[in-house]
Chains A and B, each alone.
Chain A
Amino acid sequence: MKYFKKLTISSGLLTLLIALPALLILVNIASPNTQNWQHLKDTVLSEYVFNSLYIMFGVAFLTSIIGFTTAYITTMYSFTFSKFYHYALILPFAIPTYIISYVYAGMFDITGSVTMFILDLLGKENITQIYYMDIMSIQGAIIVMSLVLYPYVYLISKTYLIAESASIIDASKTMGLSPFDTFIKVIIPISRPAIVAGTILAVMEAVADFGVVDYYGVPTFVTGIFRTWYGMGSVEDASKLASMLMLFVFTLIFLERFQRRNIRYRSSGKDFAPICKTPLKGKANVLAFIICFIPVFLGFILPLAQMSHWFILSYEDVIDEDFIRILLQTLSLGIGGSLLITMLGFIFVYNVRLHKNKISDNLTQIVKLGYSIPGAVVAVGVLSFFSHVDNIFNIFISGSILAIIFAYCVRFLAISINNYESGFSKIPQSYDDACKTMSISETGKLRSVIFPLIKNSALASFIVVFIEIIKELPLTMILRPFNFDTLAVYSHELVGQAQLYESSVPAMFIVALGIVSVLLLAKKMIKD
């Protein structure tokens, strides 16, 4: 059999394997109603739908405003520290949603450090004496999620605005439009596709979240999946909820792709003139500085400072043999998983490069959908899939490391594929042709040309996937073997036991790794 065919068959089989859990979940949507399902439907289902939609619209509103405003200001104007904000505004990405929710609860709940400080400052003794919004509410969940998810809108809008031609803005000026009119009548309409694309990504993350809503006591689809699975022990009903959530997410993806068609009306090519930043002075300079400072402060500096404080207070109690064991387990899971995913990602993208046909391309697109499926849904799908495998072969995979690694593959292969796609796009096809005309074997080509040229993409894939695995909470919680914890799960458990200070220790490790990821992203932005 030809080398090429082997690669296509491997990609085909892997795609089938990776798509199976999602397919099993989707099949469940049509399964007959059980007694548990009827109970869910009568009692909490409508609440799940309402809360999920509330979070969706709330996060969409806040992230689009914060993300686009900051992107617009840092692209169009130069002001004090504007270069710093260019990258600093991405930093909140480093903090997973569940970790910021723990920190904000510790600071702003009834007995939180900031709440107490404000009460002291105002000379009040009781919370009832001041206006107070409970952070551990659905509104609180929306705020904390938006503080770390707005960079999706910021990044996409900024990339879009940078690629926009200054002549469009100049044209509106020559037609007598004021800066405000230009913003309303030109900038916002032409940026709409970017704003929507970024907002939908943020919304997808918010809808898939488990850590925040679980801790803040907001029932949503994801918490419902957990309750049905743990409380009722019903895989079928958990799958049914998961299938509804998956359909919901796929609808969002469809909407995003549908609206993205309009992105074509961006300017480019010969007429492209880069935007020249307008320097700001006086009040405008201060205002721009403050507008950009608020999200960086609330989404990164404040939580990191609070976490660092808690870390210093508690690390001696937390870092013991057990913690080292959890750390090593997390690292080995991360390294093993990301190594495997990085290798599989290569197979998929290299297959597309060699074949350039629709089949190979579609296989990759199917696998890439995995990233958009919420972790909890993937976990239920994988569990359901391995339950069948366990029953058929009389083995036990569903509660093993193998099941977790497989689930990571389903969820994170897309990241690896994206990295390779970007890397391979910079390697001209003529290199492959040159090797062929020089009678260099496929193995020789891989060793001497492809691997040396793609190694940076492979490394980037490894690092980003590694960090995603370390951060992943719901999927790991559902699938981890008995007595097997990761830093994310440990942090969540400590919070559940009201050990907020202690939870900051594993959280700090996760955030530190997250910062590495963001720095890599920033480096890529500079390169691009």
Chain B
Amino acid sequence: MVGISLKDFSIAFGDTQILKNVSFDVKDGEIVTILGASGSGKSTILRSISSLEDKYKGDIYLHTCYLKKNQNSCATQDIGYIFQDYALFPHLNVLENIAFALKGISKKEKEIEVDKLLELFDLSEHKYKQIHELSGGQQQRVSIARVIAYKPKVLLLDEPFSNLDSILRNKTKIWLKNIIKEFGFSAILVTHDKKEALSISDKIGIIQDKTIVQFGTPKELFSNPVNKYVANFLGDINELPKEILKDFNLKNKNDDDLIIRVNKTFLTNKKNEHKLRLLDISYCGDYYELSLEFTKYNNYVIIVNVEKLNGYTKESELYLDINKENLILIKE
């Protein structure tokens, strides 16, 4: 069943158009990530679904409820919003924060509900602590517990891992994914981190030029990006001279660009048509990043990652080892 549905959603602030004709569905239990550059309007989508913005055009449905007409009845505690800064109230302790939105039950019942969540979220020992006494990860778990306490159907997550360090980020990501699946939420996560998007999402929508240019599973998007922007957003790419196509008898009817993923770009000492000159070597810990220039074609610099230098030095002459299968013809 579809949990959230956006149809021809557009929004502008004053004269500035932020998004136009955005449409996608999120099924129950599905995690959809909206990926886009900073300021591309990702958070605006979440704010509109949660009725924090209401001056949009188009339609938003929460299950079968039409949000625009029934803003209050649809939104009532059906949506859980996790804010980037967690929005935990500093004057309340952990227990009070989580119990904040619980209504219509006694104080004792509230505490029982909160205790269950504290246990589930491994926060029991912090029950009476003030928010500032918690670590970033603990604060994040409290903010999620606060939302889950009132049993929403939809979870909206605005850059939920941006304030965590990389180790904690990975740990929390797995934990959150399990929670979402366990509770069967429809979840929308916005981020600009491609690694985060690829690893946590069932589907990804990429925003470019005020709209979602591609929506699909991470694999679909990675393997068949609709344009160079999407390809570049999900992984590093090298742009190659189109002349290379002739060597493989490939046709380019639409005069598309030719790219290859950096992790599929290899070098060889065997002479071929694609001679390269080594411009620079950067040590990156686990690997070396080589910047190379085609000797035959001007303005084409590519990146190749190698584990060992094999005696390469600046100005070394090497050759590009291309597997036809890895070449991608793509729109600008």
Contact = CB atoms under 8 A, between A and B. Distances in A.
Interface of A: 428, 430-431, 433-434, 436-440, 448-449, 452-453
Contacts of A449: 89, 91
Given A439-B77, A440-B101, A434 B90 contact: no
A434 B77 contact: no
A431 B50 CA distance: 14
B101 A428 contact: no
A440 B100 CA distance: 9
A449 B51 CA distance: 20
Contacts of A438: 77, 100-101, 146-147, 150
B56 interface: no
Given A439-B101, A453-B90, A453-B91, A434 B81 contact: yes
A39 B90 CA distance: 64
14 contacts: A428-B87, A430-B83, A430-B84, A430-B85, A430-B87, A433-B50, A436-B50, A436-B51, A436-B52, A437-B51, A437-B52, A440-B100, A448-B89, A449-B91
A439 B76 contact: yes
Contacts of A436: 50-52
Interface string B57-77: 000000000000000000111
Contacts of A437: 50-52, 75, 79-81, 156
A453 B91 CA distance: 7
Given A437-B80, A449-B91, 9 more contacts: A428-B85, A430-B83, A430-B87, A433-B47, A438-B147, A438-B150, A439-B77, A440-B100, A453-B90
Interface string B83-103: 111110111000000001100
Nearest to B51: A436
B150 A433 contact: no
A439 B47 CA distance: 14
A440 B146 CA distance: 13
Given A440-B101, A449-B89, A433 B76 contact: no
B75 A431 contact: no
Contact of B87 (A431, A439, A452): A431
Contact of A434 (B51, B76, B87): B87
B300 to A, nearest CB: 36
B89 A433 contact: no
Interface size class of B (residues with CB under 8 A): 20 to 34
A51 B322 CA distance: 90
A438 to B, nearest CB: 4
A452 B91 contact: yes
B83 A433 contact: yes
Secondary structure at the B interface, as helix, strand, loop or mixed, is loop
Interface in B257-304: none
For the complex of A and B, list the 6 residue pairs with the smallest distance between their C-beta atoms, beginning with the closest: A438-B101, A430-B87, A434-B87, A437-B81, A430-B83, A452-B91
B150 A431 contact: no
Given A439-B75, A439-B101, A433 B91 contact: no
A438 B89 CA distance: 13
A438 B91 CA distance: 18
A389 to B, nearest CB: 41
Interface in B149-179: 150, 156
A62 B50 CA distance: 58
A61 B166 CA distance: 58
A438 B79 CA distance: 8
B36 to A, nearest CB: 20
Nearest to B88: A434
B109 to A, nearest CB: 18
B87 A433 contact: yes
Contacts of B77: 438-439
A437 B49 CA distance: 10
A108 to B, nearest CB: 53
Given A439-B75, A453-B91, A434 B150 contact: no
A439 B89 CA distance: 16
Q: From B47, B52, B75, B87, name the one whose CB has the most chain A CB atoms within 10 angstroms.
A: B87
A361 to B, nearest CB: 16
Q: From A431, A433, A434, A448, name the one whose CB has the most chain B CB atoms within 10 angstroms.
A: A434
A437 B50 CA distance: 6
Nearest to B97: A434
A352 to B, nearest CB: 18
A431 B79 CA distance: 16
Contacts of A431: 87, 89
A290 B59 CA distance: 73
Nearest to A438: B101
Contacts of A448: 89, 100
Contacts of B100: 438, 440, 448
Q: From A430, A438, A439, A449, name the one whose CB has the most chain B CB atoms within 10 angstroms.
A: A438
Interface in B137-153: 146-147, 150
Nearest to A449: B89
